[in-house]
Chains A and B, each alone.
Chain A
Amino acid sequence: MQTDLGLWAVPLAMLAGAIRVSTPFIFVSLGECLTERSGRINLGLEGTLVMGAMSAYGVALQTGSPWAGVLVAGLIGLLLGGLHAAICNLPRVNDIATGIALMLAATGLAFFLGKPLVQPKAPNLSAVELGWWSDIPQVRSALQVNWLFVLGIVLAPALWWALRKTRWGLVVRLAGESVDAARAMGVSVAWVRLLATAAGGFLSGIGGAFLSLYYPGSWNEGLSSGQGLMAVALVIFARWNPLRCLWASLLFGAAGAISPALQSVGVTQGYYLFGAAPYVLTLAIMIITCSPERSLRGAPGELGVTR
C-alpha cells in the first residue's frame, strides 16, 4: 500500500537515501580519516569496499549468517589495509600509486571470486523499524534503519574522542603531523601507520558488507561505483574530523538518492545525469574547500594529498 505523497516523496526518498546510502560512506570515510591522520593516504579503499561486499555475500550465503559475513568482510579489509601499509613502508614506494594498484587488484579479485555469487540469494541483515509511529508506509520504509548505520553513528564520536583524548590517538596524530617528532618520541611511525591503515581497511570492509547484505542487498559487479573513492574526497571536505565525516556522509547519501527519488515520482528524464550528482557534488566540494595558497586547516602535516 502506497499513500500518494505527491512531490513530498522526493525529500522523503532523499532522507531515506541519506540513511541507507550513507552507511558505506560513513564507514569508509571514518576508516580513511583514521588512516590519513596517521599520515598515509589509502586510495585502494574502493577495492576494499568491493572485496568486502563480495566476501560478506559469499560468507553469508555459505553460513546463513549475515553477521559472519560482516566480520569476514572486515577481516578481508584488515588484510588489504595491512598489505597497502606494508608495501608503502618499503623505501621509495608512493602511497597514491599503490592505492590505485590495490584498487584495481582487489576489484579484479572480487569479480573473479564473485562470479558464482551473482545468481544465488544470501540472507540479508535485518532492519530496525524506527517508523512505527507513522501511518504512511513510505515514512516507515524510509525510517527502516540497519544496525550498521547505528554502529556508524556511534563510531564517529567514538573515533573523534579517541583521536583527541587518548594516548593512542595522540600517537596516531603525531605520526601524521611530523615523522621527526614521532621518531624523537620513540614512536615507530611505520608500525603506527600499519595499524592505522589496517584498521581503516577493517572499517571499509564492513562498509562493503553493508552494500551487498543490506542496500542494494545483492552482489553484482556494478555494486560500487566510486563510493570508496568519494569517501576519500569526503575526508578532505570533512577536514580530517570524524564528526564532520558523519555529516558529510549523510549529505552524500542524500545526493546519491536524488536519481532514484526523482524516478519514483515519475521523472525519468535525465536519469543518468542525476545519477552523476554525487560525483559533481564531490568535485564541487573539493574545488570549494581546497586552496593552493595555504595548506588545508586540519590537514595532517605528513599527508601527500595536500602537498
Chain B
Amino acid sequence: MIARDVAMAEPEHSPAHAEPAAAAVSIAGPEIVTGAAAGPSIRMAIDDRWRQAAERVAVPLIALAASSVVFGVFLALVAQVDPLEVYGLMYQGAFGSWFSLQNTLVRAAPLILTALCTALPARLGLVVIGNEGALVAGGVAAASAGLLMHGAAPIAVQLVMAVAGMAVGGLWILAAGWLRHSRGVNETIASLLLTYIAIALMNHLVEGPLRDPQSLNKPSTAPIGEANMIGNLPGTDVHWGLALGVIFCIGTYVLMRHTTFGFAADMAGGNVRAARGMGLNVGRLVAVTCLLGGAAAGLAGMIEVAAVHGRANASLVAGYGYAGILVAFLARHHPLAIVPVAVLMGGISASNGLLQRRLDLPDATVLVLQGVIFVMILAGESLYGRIRLFQPRGA
C-alpha cells in the first residue's frame, strides 16, 4: 500500500499528470512575485514563463526533426527512394498550391475535432482512444437524423444532424469515462473496444435496416440530399467543418483555462484524492469532459457525412480517429495548439496521393510517418526539464 502511494507520487509515471501541475505553477508564479513587489524579479518571472512556453514548443519541434531523420533513413533504406524528394513532394502536396492547401484544410477539419476527443479527457489524466468509434457512431446517427428530417428546411436538418451526431458521439465516450469512474474499467481498452463495436453496428445498419437499395458496391444509407449538405467557406472549396472545429477548440480553451470548471478538472487530473478532499465532484468532471470530447468526435462524423460523403457508409472509417490521437498528443492536449498540429497532419495525409502517383509508394506511407512521429513525441517527453536553456532562472 505504501509502495503504491510512492509510485503515485512519482511524476515519471504520468506525464499526463505532470503537465497540469506545470500549468498551475505558471499561473501561480507571477502572483507570488507581485506579492513580493520586487521589480527585477517580475521581469525574471516573465522571462521564466517565456522559457517554459518556449520549452513546450521546442521539445515537440525537436521530436518532429528527429522523426523526419528516422523516417528519411527508412525511406532511403527500405523504400529506396530519395527522402529529400519525398519531403519536397509532401510540401508540394500539402501546402504547395492553393488547391493542395484547401485539400489539407478539408482533412484538418475532422482531425481538429477528433483530437479534442483525446485531449479533453486527458486533462483529467484519462487516456481515451475511442475517437474513431465516436466519429463513426456520430456519423451514422447524424445521417439517420438527416433522413428522418427529410423535407424540413436545410438549416433545421443540419442542426438536428449536428445535435444527433454530437449526442451519440458524446454518449459513446461518456460510456468509457463512466465505466472508468464507476467500475474502475481501464478507459483506454474500453474506448477502443467501443470503437470496434461502433464499426460493427455501422456495418450492420448500412447493410441491413438503413440500407439504400440503390447502393450496390458500397452499402450505404440513403443520401441526405444535395440541399442539406453543408456548404463551403466563402471563396474556397473548404467546407464549414473547419470553422466549426476551430470554434469548438476556442470554446474548449475558454472552458478549460478560464473557468472554475477547467481549474477543477486540472486539479482532479493532478491528484484525484486531493480533489476529492476539496469536495470536487470528480464523477461530474469525468462525465462532462468525456461527453464534450465525444461530442467533438461525433460532430466530426456529422461533418464527414454532411459535407463530404452525403451519406453514412464504411468511408467513415478513414483513420481520422487514430490520427486524432496523435494530433492530441503532439499538441500536448492544448486545445489551441490542436489547430496548427491538425493542419500539419492534414497536410501529411493530403500529400499521400501525390506520393503514390509520383513515387509509387504504398498508401501506408503516411501511417508509418505518423507512427514514427508519435513514438518520437513520447520519447521526447523525457527531454522536459533536461535542456538548460529552458529552465527557470527565477530566484
Q: Which A residues form the contact surface with B (CB < 8 A)? A: 43, 87, 90-94, 96-98, 100-102, 104-109, 111-113, 115, 177-181, 225-226, 229-230, 232-233, 236, 269-273, 275-276, 279-280, 282-283, 286-287, 290-292, 295, 301-302, 304-307
Interface size on B, residues (CB 8 A): 60
Residues from chain B with Cβ under 8 Å of A272 in the complex: 200-201, 203-204, 207
Cβ B196 vs Cβ A97 within 8 A: no
Residues from chain A with Cβ under 8 Å of B12 in the complex: 91-93
Q: Which B180-196 residues sit within 8 Å CB-CB of chain A?
A: 181-186, 188-190, 192-194, 196
Cβ A292 vs Cβ B181 within 8 A: yes
Residues from chain A with Cβ under 8 Å of B182 in the complex: 292
Contact stretch, chosen from B144-152, B252-260, B297-305, B366-374: B366-374
In the complex, which of the residues A112, A177, A280, A286 contacts B186, with contact meaning CB atoms closer than 8 Å? A286
B340 CB–A CB distance under 8 Å: no
In the complex, which of the residues A90, A111, A115, A269 contacts B382, with contact meaning CB atoms closer than 8 Å? A90
Cβ A101 vs Cβ B127 within 8 A: no
Given contacts A87-B378, A108-B364, A229-B192, contact A276 B201 (CB under 8 A): yes
Cβ A291 vs Cβ B183 within 8 A: yes
Q: Which B342-369 residues sit within 8 Å CB-CB of chain A?
A: 362, 364-369
B129 CB–A CB distance under 8 Å: yes
| Whole-angstrom CA separation of A216 from B23 in the bound complex | 50
In the complex, which of the residues A178, A271, A282 contacts B3, with contact meaning CB atoms closer than 8 Å? A178
Cβ B367 vs Cβ A279 within 8 A: no
In the complex, which of the residues A113, A115, A283, A290 contacts B194, with contact meaning CB atoms closer than 8 Å? A283
Given contacts A98-B375, A307-B8, contact A112 B367 (CB under 8 A): yes
Residues from chain A with Cβ under 8 Å of B183 in the complex: 286-287, 290-292
Q: Identify whether the interface residues of A are mostly helix, strand, loop, or mixed.
A: helix
In the complex, which of the residues B127, B184, B384 contacts A97, with contact meaning CB atoms closer than 8 Å? B127
Which 3 A-B residue pairings sit nearest by Cβ, starting from the closest?
A105-B371, A108-B367, A111-B364
Residues from chain A with Cβ under 8 Å of B6 in the complex: 180
Contact stretch, chosen from B81-89, B107-115, B158-166, B322-330: B322-330
In the complex, which of the residues B18, B129, B362 contacts A111, with contact meaning CB atoms closer than 8 Å? B362
B77 CB–A CB distance under 8 Å: no
The smallest C-beta distance from B129 to any residue of chain A, in angstroms, reads 6
Residues from chain B with Cβ under 8 Å of A105 in the complex: 368, 370-372, 374-375
B127 and chain A: residue at smallest CB distance: A96
In the complex, which of the residues B14, B78, B197, B201 contacts A94, with contact meaning CB atoms closer than 8 Å? B14
Cβ B364 vs Cβ A101 within 8 A: no
B207 and chain A: residue at smallest CB distance: A272
A84 and chain B: residue at smallest CB distance: B375
Residues from chain A with Cβ under 8 Å of B329 in the complex: 97, 101
